[in-house]
Structure 1
Amino acid sequence: MYDKTTRAIRVTVTPTFLEDQSTPEEHYFVWAYTIVIENLGQEVVQLMTRYWKITDALGRHQEVRGEGVVGEQPVLHPGERFEYTSGAPLPTPSGIMVGSYQMETSSGEMFNVEIPAFALESPYAKTRLH
Structure 2
Amino acid sequence: MSNPLLLEEQLCFPFYAISREITKRYRPLLEPLGLTYPQYLVMLVLWEQDQQSLKAVGERLHLDSGTLTPLLKKLEASGLVERVKNPVDERHIQITLTANGQALRNEAEQIPLALKELLGVSDEDMELVKQTLNRLTIKMNGTD
Q: Into which bin does the TM-score normalised by the smaller protein fall?
A: under 0.3
Question: TM-score, normalized by length of structure 2?
Answer: 0.23
Larger fraction in helix: 2
Q: Name which one, 1 or 2, has greater alpha-carbon Rg.
A: 2
- Greater relative CO (CA pairs within 8 A, separation 6+): 1
